Amino acid sequence: MPIYTYKGLDRSGKEVKNSINIDSIITAKQRIKSMGIMLIDIKEQRAQGGSSFLKFSGKVKVDDLAMMTRQLATLIKAKIQIVEALAALTDQVDNENLRIVLSELRQKVNEGASLANALQDYPKVFDSVYINMVEAGEASGTLEIVLLRLADFTESQVKLKNKIRGAMTYPVIMGIFGFLMMNVIFIYVIPQIAKIFKSMKKELPLITKVCIWISEFLQNYWWLVFLLIFLTIWGTNKYLNSVKGKSNWDAFAIKLPVFGILIKMINVSRFCSTLATLLNSGVPLMTAMGIVKNLISNVHMKDAIERSRISISEGASMVAPLAASGYFPTLVTHMIRLGERSGELEPMLKIISENYEDQVQSKIGGLTSILEPIMMIFLGLAIGFIVFAVVIPMMNMNSLH
Q: Are 28 and 82 in contact (CB under 8 A)?
A: no
* Domain spanning 62-126: CATH superfamily: Type II secretion system (T2SS), domain F (1.20.81.30)
Q: Where are the beta strands (DSSP E) in 233-374?
A: none
Neighbours of 86 (CB within 10 A): 26
Q: Are 359 and 377 in contact (CB under 8 A)?
A: no
In CATH, the architecture of 152-401 is Up-down Bundle (1.20)
Domains 62-126 and 152-401 share a fold: yes
Closest CA to 179 of 398, 330, 399, 378: 378
Closest CA to 60 of 16, 89, 94: 94
Long-range contacts (CB closer than 8 Å, 24 or more residues apart) made by 75-78: 76/143, 76/144, 76/147, 77/144
Domain ranges of the chain: 3-45, 62-126, 152-401
Closest CA to 171 of 22, 372, 361: 372
Neighbours of 282 (CB within 10 A): 19
CA atoms of 322 and 29, how far apart (whole Å): 61
Radius of gyration of the chain (CA): 30
Q: What angle do CA 385, 388, 391 make, to 5 degrees?
A: 150
Q: 128-140 and 259-280 helices cross at what angle (nearest 10)? A: 20
Alpha helices in 37-142 (DSSP H): 62-77, 82-92, 96-110, 115-119, 128-140
Task: Give Cα separations from 248 to 182, 252, 267, 339 (angstroms).
Answer: 33, 6, 17, 33
CA atoms of 123 and 127, how far apart (whole Å): 6
The structure's pTM equals 0.66
Helices (H) and strands (E) in the chain, counts: 16, 3
The per-residue pLDDT string of the chain (401 residues; one tens digit each, 9 = 90 and over) reads 566 677 777 777 777 777 766 666 677 777 777 888 877 777 766 554 443 344 444 477 888 888 888 899 889 888 888 888 888 888 788 888 888 888 888 888 888 888 888 898 888 888 888 888 888 888 778 888 888 888 888 888 788 778 778 777 878 888 888 888 888 888 888 888 888 887 777 778 888 888 889 888 888 888 898 899 999 999 999 998 898 999 999 999 888 887 888 888 888 988 888 888 888 888 888 888 888 888 788 899 999 999 999 999 888 888 999 999 888 988 889 999 999 888 888 889 989 888 888 888 788 777 777 777 888 888 888 888 888 888 887 776 665 44
Q: Residue 203 region, left (φ>0) first, then alpha (ψ -120 to 50), else beta?
A: beta
Contacts with 270 (C-beta within 8 Å, 6 or more apart), sequence order: 292, 295, 296
